[in-house]
Structure 1
Amino acid sequence: MNTQDLTLALDSIKLSDIRWETYEHLLKDISQQRRLRLTYYQGELEIMVPSPEHEFYKEVIGRFVETLAEELQVSIYPLGSTTFKQAKNTGAEPYKCFYIRNIERVRGKKRLNFVEDPPPDLVVEIDITSSSDTRLKIYAELGVPEVWIYNRESLLIKQLQNQAEYISTNQSLFFPNLPLNEITTFLTQAETMDYLTLVREFRQWIRRQLV
């Protein structure tokens, strides 16, 4: 089965005992066809085909992060779904990622080496058809400080503790003193409200919190 057939046949598949070289070959093979999303962890490979629903919420939450940064005057550096690989053992592609504290260490780089380069400061995951539990293990090993997960019911803000595991919290390290759990209200309206109207209302909500 080629990658085009795979895209049409499934939403998600998990494979065991996969060699690192196979994972890297697949990354190269689908480089021109980025609908497939690969997660590799200690020989386990997950292949996902993001649905329109995944892509929609990815864009909405990414826009919300950008709007928060604008209103709070926080510098961000977006790197989208960049593939993060480490030690021939793990590899993941977040739905969205942003550098905030470490912008100058990665700005303008064409390739990142996570032996030397820092991980993104903020990662966004969409848990609609599958869980991000394995990717959380990878992000913890990389040292990603904060992960936002939307599961259709709520937006979870998770922060890394002791470089080992994530705990849930109501506030962001990068956009402090805002009740970000309230973003869920906007996300539940996202599919029925005009996109730009939603963004405007979200911006107004931020400004009310700042007052």
Structure 2
Amino acid sequence: MTLPTITQDRIDLSPGDELILRFRTWQDYENLLDRRQDKAGLRIRYNSVTQEIRIMSPLPGHGKDADMLADLVKAVLRHQGQDWEAFTPITLRRVNRQGVEPDYCFYIKNRERILGKERIDLENDPPPDLVIEIDLTSTTKVEDYQAIGIAEVWIYRRDRLLIYCFDGKQYQECQTSPHFPERDIKTLLPQYANRGWQVGSSVALREFEQFLSG
């Protein structure tokens, strides 16, 4: 078993590992982002309230679920005639407060405000409208997004989709998605995400698109 390693020059974690560093500053977080270098697969978060940095190395299934759910979201958006911009990976930061790296995020209502931008600066740009987190390797705390102000956060955990809506102060669990109020997203997306493991992602996506058209 390989132990997690953090040195001045490198960060090494095995797939599935999560490391929590306590009593850390924003500068510690910024330094770790710089030292990550080519380890783009690592997720690094910072919470100024808890003073914790969390470093996570996703398992392979983590990426498959994230891609599958994102493809299903895109299918619904296409069916509704809506445009979007999507980002992965991405680092979202509120200086000295919060740093998060969601598995996938979408700009829908605010799409036009970030067109052509390679980097998102939350000092000037709006936060994403929708974030997707896959809880296969670690557990997401929805409170980590409060300082960022994401309108809607989805957490996919153990074949369940949890939907959280931001009321301006905190997150409340919702049974329907404000972005897709006419669809039973909590049931449909886990169903077809699981289908992707059984028959393959492209087949499950095609079946989902046929369902939407039917």
Q: TM-score, normalization: structure 2? A: 0.88
- The residue that corresponds to 1:206 in the other structure is 212
Structure 1 segment 107-126 matched on structure 2, within 5 A? 107-126=115-134
Q: How big is each residue's C-alpha offset from its partner over 1:178-208, in whole Å with a ceiling of 9 and x where there is no partner?
A: 1112222112222121221100111122223
Alpha carbons of 1:192 and 1:10: their partners in 2 closer, same or farther (altered >3 Å)? closer
Answer 1 or 2: which has greater helix percent.
1
Percent identical among aligned pairs is 30
| C-alpha deviation, 1:75, in angstroms | 0.9
Gapped regions of structure 1 (runs ≥ 5): none
Structure 2 unaligned segments of length 5 or more: list them. none
SS at match of 1:191: helix
Give the TM-score taking structure 1 as reference length: 0.90
Aligned residues: 205
Q: Tell me the residue number matched to 1:94.
A: 102
**Matched-pair contact (CA < 8 Å) for 1:155–1:184:** yes
Amino acid in structure 2 at the alignment position of 1:71:
H
Return closer, same or farther for 1:191/1:9 CA change in 2, 3 Å cut-off. closer
Partner of 2:43: 37
Match of 1:186 in 2: 192
Let me know the Cα RMSD of the aligned residues. Answer: 1.8
Go from structure 1 to structure 2 and tell me whether the alpha carbon gap of 1:97 and 1:204 turns closer, same or farther (over 3 Å shift): same
CA offset digits 1:156-196 (Å, max 9, x no partner): 222112x1222222322222211112222112222121221
Q: Distance in 2 between matches of 1:14 and 1:191?
A: 31
Instruction: Give secondary structure in 2 for the equivalent of 1:203.
Output: helix
Residues 169 and 207 of structure 1: CA distance in aligned 2, closer, same or farther (over 3 Å): farther
Alpha carbons 2:11, 2:35 under 8 Å: kept:
no
Identify the match of residue 172 of structure 2 among 143, 167, 171: 167
Structure-2 change in CA distance of 1:4 and 1:152 (3 Å): farther
Paired residues of 1:72 and 1:175 also in contact (CA < 8 A): no
Q: 1:154 aligns with which of 148, 153, 160?
A: 160
